[in-house]
């Protein structure tokens, strides 16, 4: 069960070429490149990458900021028992990363944080993520730690709904936050983002990063 209030939108990102100087004179002309268009959704205010030490899929402490510093970090909170949105997001990401330039992929890290720490042990997370891409990172922690992650991203806290004795589904936000090298997520990717959207945006996130659109 998933909750999301995001609609797909696009964001124009403007890049302006540098002035060219010839001899002693400096030209006033600007050569403006066509603005690239992101398929992600711009959010305001953009959240900063959460700080904290969690538990990785190897059972060892995982410092979120330290382990992802210098990478485009695609951060998602979900759970391995999710019947639809979580595996769809991970599958589409894995297929897109497989198809793009390896030099771009090498600068991207995918972090899956569980909203169901009672069932998603480090081993369960590792086995589930390996179905998509063995480079995907997984983190867990105490229930309160995971709630604090949702708070830091401006998400509603996930909730559990019983479906049968001993079983339940988890309602949680359904978007992926894209943290650029400034450790801020200016763009998010909601349910409905496709592999083609990822293949379009990932090279831009890596090679261009984030620039405020011109007013």
Q: How many CB atoms lie within 10 A of CB 138?
A: 26
**Which token pair is 61?**
């402490």
Encode pLDDT of 75-100 as tens digits: 999 999 999 999 999 999 999 999 99
**Which residue has tokens 């900021």?**
65
Weakest-pLDDT range from 7-21, 29-43, 106-120, 169-183: 7-21
For the chain, the domains span 39-207
Mean pLDDT (whole number) for 26-34: 47
CA 182 to each of CA 70, 149, 214: distance values in angstroms, whole numbers, following the listed order: 9, 18, 19
Q: Which CATH number fits domain 39-207: 1.10.150.120, 3.30.420.140, 3.30.365.10, 3.40.30.10?
A: 3.40.30.10
- Which pLDDT score, from 0 to 100, does residue 164 have? 87
Model pTM score: 0.83
Encode pLDDT of 127-158 as tens digits: 999 999 999 999 999 999 999 999 999 999 99
- Sheet strands side by side (includes 61-63): 41-42, 185-189, 176-179, 72-78, 108-114, 137-140, 53-56, 61-63
């Amino acid at each position: 069960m998933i909750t999301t209030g995001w609609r797909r939108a696009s964001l124009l990102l403007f890049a302006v070429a540098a002035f060219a100087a010839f001899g002693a004179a400096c030209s006033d002309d600007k050569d403006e490149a066509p603005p690239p268009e992101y398929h992600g959704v711009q959010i305001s205010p953009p959240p900063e990458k959460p700080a904290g030490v969690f538990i990785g899929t190897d059972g060892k402490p995982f410092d979120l900021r330290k382990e992802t510093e210098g990478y485009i970090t695609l951060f998602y909170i979900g759970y391995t028992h999710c019947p639809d949105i979580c595996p769809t997001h991970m599958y589409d990401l894995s297929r897109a990363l497989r198809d793009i330039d390896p030099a771009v992929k090498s600068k991207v890290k995918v972090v899956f944080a569980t909203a169901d720490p009672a069932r998603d042990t480090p081993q369960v997370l590792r086995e589930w993520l390996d179905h998509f891409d063995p480079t995907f990172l997984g983190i867990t922690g105490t229930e309160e730690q995971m709630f604090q992650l949702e708070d830091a991203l401006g998400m509603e806290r996930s909730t559990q709904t019983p479906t049968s004795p001993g079983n339940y589904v988890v309602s949680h936000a359904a978007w992926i936050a894209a943290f650029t090298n400034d450790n801020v997520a200016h763009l998010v990717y909601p349910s409905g983002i496709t592999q083609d959207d990822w293949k379009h945006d990932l090279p831009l996130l890596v090679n261009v990063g984030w620039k405020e659109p011109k007013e």
